[in-house]
Copies of this chain bind each other. A is one copy, B any other.
Amino acid sequence: MKVAVIGGGSSYTPELIEGFILRAGQMKVDEIALVDIAAGKTKLKIIGELAKRMLKKKGLSTKVTITFDRVAAITDADFVLTQFRVGGLDARANDERIPLKYRVIGQETTGPGGFAKALRTIPVMLEICREMEAYAPDAWLINFTNPAGMVTEAVHQFTNVKAIGLCNVPINMQQMTADILEVKREEVNMRFAGLNHLVYGTSVHVKGKDQLDVLIKRIAAGKNMNMKNIYDAPWEETFLQALRALPCPYHRYYYMMDDMLEEELKTSREKGTRAEQVKKIEQALFMTYRDPALDIKPLELADRGGSLYSEAAVSLIASIVNNDHAIHTVNVPNNGTITQLPDDVVVEVTCMVNREGPQPLQIGKLPTACIGLIQQVKAFEQLTIEAAVKGDTQKAYLALVANPFVPSSKVAKALLEELLEINRPYLPQFELKKQASSV
């Protein structure tokens, strides 16, 4: 069994290595191929060496390969994991900071930030998929690269690769729910439905009892249902009671748009945007990783965010390899699962996973109070994907207009121009289009 990790030089990789170590008893991995672009050479080497030390310490025979040849890494892989970041943290900083100039939430996965990231990322992902079609046609693509939902949807619509989009939000919501209800994570029967970073917990049962009301009460009373990288604005009890569903931490950007914007403006002034903060954390992390004596995942990695990330990824791979029929909430083609959305879009839903991959549990109709927002954001996503693949400026414009954070077509236009300009090195599809149309 061979696992290729694209963006292998990411600071997250030690998490992933730890995940494989923890499941070594269930699943034997022969090779982990870490691949990155030339610009990430130093980082990749540091990570590669740390990974080797971590595996060695546990006496595992898994071979770690370091390469800058993506095709070589992909060839004959059983699983391809994608966690690359086109343009690096500098591009993310732009994604976050530029919208704030227009009093629009700067967020790298939803809103105009996620939009710009999708434009940069999707073409690269489709290239990777072309290579997979040629050199590893039976491999599974496990994608964490954000915006994970849109990227996975593009793969399903434009390639033949078997792809699963993965996010650590649902697994964390389940863990936090278990913590709040004071039971183990496996004791909570939870159903999730929605889009990536716009997913709702639609039911919560423990030992056959509906615990949604209890959960709502405790969250409103201050119990934690948030993730590291999101401002922890409190949920109001009457709202959660009316909604009768558990919003994900990212829902704050929609349901508390005014406060979240003010907080982002304040933080970006005082501490820099999240990307700028992460940059510092990453530098420190790599200093730590470099230490030849380090042969475990360092505790500081927790500050980086990404809680339960490797648990989600490695347990998903184990479910496929071991045909264990476990429950995972992942991004898959809708295909009628949520009947109010088109068949060919990607949704984030609870699945049973076996050797044939994720089998979504049927949902039917989501409540009216949830579906309107989901449909609006899905329209934004579809327009963004079309713009990203075709280099279509008009669709890009309409995507931003459709985004709930953008107050007007005027702001959308200004934002679009600025985002296209600053991301120009990463958006060849738009340049080619312009040349073509100028002929």
Interface set of A (CB-CB < 8 Å, partner B) = 189, 203, 205, 207-208, 236, 238-239, 241-243, 255-259, 323, 325-327, 335-337, 339-340, 342-343, 352, 354-356, 359-365, 368-369, 371-373, 375-380, 382-383, 386, 394-395, 397-398, 401-402, 404, 407-411, 413
Contact = CB atoms under 8 A, between A and B. Distances in A.
A336 B363 contact: yes
B242 A394 contact: yes
B364 A343 contact: yes
Nearest to A323: B189
B404 A404 contact: yes
A355 B208 contact: yes
B413 A255 contact: no
Contact of A238 (B325, B355, B379, B397): B397
A369 B238 contact: no
A326 B402 CA distance: 35
Given A189-B355, A256-B409, A359-B361, 8 more contacts: A205-B356, A238-B394, A241-B394, A243-B398, A255-B409, A259-B410, A337-B362, A369-B379
A43 to B, nearest CB: 35
Contacts of A354: 189
Nearest to A350: B359
A338 to B, nearest CB: 8
A373 B377 CA distance: 9
A259 B402 contact: no
A45 B354 CA distance: 46
Contacts of A258: 407-408, 410-411
Contact of A360 (B238, B361, B375): B361
